[in-house]
Amino acid sequence: MSSTRRRLIELLQAKKHEYISGQKLAEQLNISRNAIWKHMNELEEDGYKIEAKPRLGYRILDVPNKVSENTLKWGLQTKWLGHHIVHKTSLPSTQILAHQLAQNDAKHGTIVITDEQTAGKGRMERPWDSKSKEGIWLSIILRPQIPPYLAPQLTLLTATVLADLVKEETNLLPKIKWPNDLLIEQKKISGILTEMQAEQDQILYVIIGIGINVNQSITDFDPTIRHRVTSLYEESNIKWDRRKLIQQLLHTFEKSYETYIGEGFTNVKHKWESYGFRIGEQISIKTLNEQWKSTFLGIAEDGALLIENKSGEIEKLYSGEIQWFE
């Protein structure tokens, strides 16, 4: 979206349903009245209902209930996150396009979002069922001034943002399954994929991919995974406004990210553990050499799982096969 279109939407949003003259808009945006008219036509093509009256100007009667660059900007209350939005009706993966944009100097806080992914993926290249236009599929480009070894903290931060979003917007009670899945009643509703480009001591960029099942019915999912996935609709019997959920997600993420950058990981760790799935319980762990049961104690600063080993000592676990559902 051009900076002119973004500023136009901000001006119209500030006035909401009041008239604002074409001349005033032209002066504030430093463009011609004919250019204002063209922008208004493009907004109408995107589904906005606009009334234009001589001597009064323009006013917005209604905003379309859809996801697009224009509608996501309308009412977005962020300082920097999502000020540049790239929306596509369909993509193989938002991560792929986000990488391309980041490598071409896309700004910190750029969002890539699509109505459907035809080749969505999660961690370890696992496929992510995101062909439905009823979910939220987006990637956030960040350029954090933190050492590369702290990048896993951003995955944990994002998980707490999603948990807060679901809890506050829907009153459902989510749990975070280490390290990056959001569950409701032990069924997956959201996932996170964090990818990074870095040098030895400097992060060039981080891309955080987020998938949320919003308005899908259970029959929208592949039959092979229906027993372990769910959606906000399935859990609440309510159809949710994806646009407003995305805007609230961006607003919550920005606040949490800024707090993290300013104050460090401690608050994120505590919040993550408050949502942590099976914290304080025994879990079965299998590595290349052995298999045992251990108490899940929490997470470490670097995102590792904290467990109690056979000797009763606290140990970090970075990998291994964990039986979460027994």
CATH number at residue 316: 2.30.30.100
Return all residues near 34 (Cβ < 8 A) that are at least 6 apart. none
pLDDT in tens, 8-22: 888 888 887 789 999
For the segment 56-62, the average pLDDT, to the nearest whole number, is 89
Instruction: Encode pLDDT of 183-220 as tens digits.
Output: 999 999 999 999 999 998 899 999 999 999 999 999 98
**Rounded Cα gap, residues 6 and 148, in angstroms:** 33
Query: Last residue of a domain, which of 62, 86, 103?
Result: 62
Q: Please give the DSSP secondary-structure letter assigned to residue 147.
A: -
Q: What percent of the chain has pLDDT over 70?
A: 95
Examine the pLDDT at 252 and tell me if it is beyond 80: yes
Q: 125 pLDDT exceeds 70?
A: no
Count how many domains the chain has.
3
* Mean pLDDT across 255-281: 95
The yes-or-no verdict on residue 225 having pLDDT over 80 is yes
Whether 139 and 33 share a structural domain: no
Calculate mean pLDDT across residues 135-159: 95
The sign one gets for the Cα dihedral 36, 25, 45, 210 is: positive
Is it the case that residue 258 has pLDDT exceeding 90?
yes
Q: Which residue bears the tokens 């990488």?
A: 99
Could you tell me if 150 and 256 lie in one domain?
A: yes
Question: For the domain that residue 123 is a member of, what is the CATH number?
Answer: 3.30.930.10
pLDDT class for 124, splitting at 50, 70, 90? very low
Distances (CA, A) of 300 to 152, 208, 258: 11, 20, 21
Average pLDDT over residues 213-228: 91
Alpha carbon distances (Å) from 290 to 190, 257, 284, 306, 311: 31, 38, 11, 17, 15
Question: Which residues, including other chains, have CB under 8 Å from residue 215's CB and lie 6 or more apart?
Answer: 134, 135, 231, 232, 233, 239, 240, 242
For position 16, what pLDDT does the model report?
75
User: Average pLDDT of 139-155?
Assistant: 95
76 and 35 co-located in one domain: no
Same domain, yes or no, for 116 and 193? yes
Q: Is the pLDDT at 55 greater than 60, yes or no?
A: yes
Report the mean per-residue pLDDT for the chain.
90
Question: Are 87 and 23 members of one domain?
Answer: no
- Rounded CA-CA distance 195/206 in Å is 6
Whether pLDDT at 308 is above 80: yes
Which of 62, 85, 113 finishes a domain? 62
Q: What is the pLDDT of residue 12?
A: 85
Structure tokens at 44: 């109408």
Percentage of the chain lying above the pLDDT 90 cut: 63
CB within 8 A of 66, min separation 6: which ones?
46, 47, 243
306 and 187 belong to one structural domain: no
The domain spanning residue 38 has which CATH number?
A: 1.10.10.10
Same domain, 224 and 315: no
Are 194 and 262 found together in one domain? yes
Last residue within a domain, chosen from 47, 62, 77: 62
**pLDDT at 141 (0 to 100):** 98
Residue-number span of the structural domain to which 25 is assigned: 3-62
What's the whole-number mean pLDDT along residues 89-97?
93
68: left (phi over 0), alpha (psi -120 to 50) or beta: beta
CA distance 54 to 21: 9
pLDDT band at residue 131 using 50, 70 and 90 as cut-offs: low
Q: In the predicted model, is pLDDT for residue 150 greater than 50? A: yes
169 & 289 share domain: no
> Is 229 in the same domain as 169?
yes
pLDDT number for residue 11: 86
Same domain, 127 and 260: yes
d(CA 30, CA 198): 40
Confidence of residue 6 (pLDDT cuts 50, 70, 90): confident
Are 187 and 254 in the same domain?
A: yes
